[in-house]
Structure 1
Amino acid sequence: MDDEPSLRDRLIDVGVDLVMTEGSAALGLREIARRAGVSHGAPRRYFPTHQSLLSAIARRGFADLAARIKAATAPTPDGARTPREQVRAIGREYVGYALEHRGMFELMFRHDLLDSEKEAPRDERPGADGNDAADRPRLRESTLPMFEVFVGLVERCRPEHGPAGQPPAVTAAALWTNLHGLAQLWTWGSLPLALGTTTPGGDHLDRLVSAVLDTHLGPVDA
């Protein structure tokens, strides 16, 4: 029989596989329990609510995306990337992740479902495995650092203020919103239709990401 901590991890592993292959709509507690080979009530020992299990699954997505962004923004053999190059790399990885892992991407940013104030206290109580869930990173603690890195890079691109006198955090938020919309519209098929392409990525996406940066940070030669 598996020990208790490994069962918690297996439930998350099953959820990750489900969302990657079948989308976020497939993430029912009963289905996750069935595929993990346990009773339908077993997940409640580790995840007191459906939202707390979804949050744990989404954190895996953020860890994956963060690793990709870290690799994409790492110094090259020729030296460190400029802030502008790092912002572009983040944007390309962000949109690329959305195309490759649509179900996980859709789940990751649903804070209204995943980590609401109503669910947080119950999600932080000690788990059945004897480990305090409060010792594990909260979902918001997985997302905010990524945005803070983004703000810092935007500030370095525009040390004083971004376009229209906006502070870096607002410019970064607008840029993020634009990238997220780009990712969603591409995965839904709207942008490929508008651009007359069926290619899932490539030059069209590179040009669109560059256009987003030009819009919010100004052209490179500005």
Structure 2
Amino acid sequence: MTESDLSLRDRLVDAGMELLAAEGPQALTLREIARRAGVSHGAPRRHFPTRLELLSAIAHRGFADLAERTRTTSARTADGPRARVAALARTYLEFALDRPGMYELMFRHDLLESGRLGLRETSLPLFALLTELIGQVNPDADARRVAGALWANLHGTAQLWRWRSLPLALGETDFGPLLDTVLAAHLGPEGGR
């Protein structure tokens, strides 16, 4: 692959990310991404034979961003495994709320199942870290199942918060108190272990 090929590939992904941030995942068409990248509508097919492959490349960047945010959070939090789980959970929710279009794209079943660009493998290190930390918080728990339940709870919290259902129901504008409740439900009360 030549340097100009790499640059076009990156330009297409960059244009897709900008479109995603501005208009959401429903706006991601090959034609519109090509237009925004300043190339012919057929040019994306040179690097991405299918729309699914281009969407996977965009989602891959989202997973890379989330991974970087979790690495930074993990490095800053040295208060023990429970505090690290709480910090990672907050980072996950903030990512979902800050970048709703990307978050929605990243967890599309068709992209994860397609095997394109190893998206499934890209999402697993965060789950492994969460599982490891939960095992440290409660060595008697089935850490993988607790991590799965916590992840599902965080995913639902992100969606319902974004849709404004939870803020309306709870009468709150900050998800922090709800996050504390979620963590207590999955890890036990603070100060337990």
Establish whether TM, by shorter chain, passes 0.5.
Answer: yes
Report the counterpart of residue 193 of structure 1 in structure 2. 168
Displacement after TM superposition at 1:38 (Å): 1.0
2:113 and 2:120 in contact (8 A); partners too: no
Asked if the contact 1:73–1:81 (Cα under 8 Å) also holds between the matched residues in 2, the reply is: no
Q: Which whole-Å CA distance do the structure 1 matches of 2:72 and 2:112 have between them?
A: 28
- Find the counterpart in structure 2 of residue 164 from structure 1: none
Q: What is the aligned length?
A: 190
Moved over 6 A (4+): none
Q: Work out whether residues 16 and 33 of structure 2, in 8 Å CA contact, stay in contact via their aligned partners in 1.
A: yes
Partner of 1:177: 152
Partner letter of residue 124 of structure 2? Answer: L
- Whether 1:71 and 2:72 are equivalent positions in the alignment is yes
Give per-residue Cα distances to partners, 1:7-55, cap 9 Å, x unaligned: 0000000111111111111111110011111111111111111111111
Instruction: List alignment gaps of at least 5 residues for structure 1.
Output: 124-136, 162-166
**Cα distance, 1:65 vs structure 2:** 1.1
Superimposed CA distance per residue, residues 91-149 of structure 1 (whole angstroms, 9 cap, x where no aligned partner): 10111111111111111111x221434xx4xx5xxxxxxxxxxxxx5111210111111
What SS does the corresponding residue of 1:3 show, helix, strand or coil? helix
Residue 221 of structure 1 deviates from its aligned partner by 2.7
Counterpart secondary structure, 2:41: coil
Greater gyration radius: 1
Aligned to 2:140: 160
2:123 matched to 1:143?
Answer: yes
TM-score normalised per structure 1: 0.81
Question: Which deviations, in whole Å up to 9, do the C-alpha atoms of 1:135-191 show, x marking residues without a partner?
Answer: xx5111210111111111111111121xxxxx1100100000001110100000101
Structure 1 residues 10 and 71, CA gap change in structure 2 (3 angstroms) = same
Distance 2:32 2:103 in 1: 20
Aligned partner of 1:90 in structure 2 is 88
Partner of 1:60: 61
SS in 1 for 2:113: coil
Q: Is the 8 A contact 1:75 1:81 kept in 2?
A: no
Q: Could you tell me the TM-score, scaled by structure 2's length?
A: 0.93
Structure 1 vs Structure 2 CA RMSD: 1.5
Matched to 1:81, the amino acid is D
- The 3-state SS of whatever aligns with 2:19 is helix
> What's the counterpart of residue 18 of structure 1?
19
Deviation, 1:6, is 0.2
Aligned partner of 1:130 in structure 2 is: none
Residue 98 of structure 2 is aligned with which of 66, 79, 100? 100
CA contact (8 A) 1:12 1:57 kept: yes
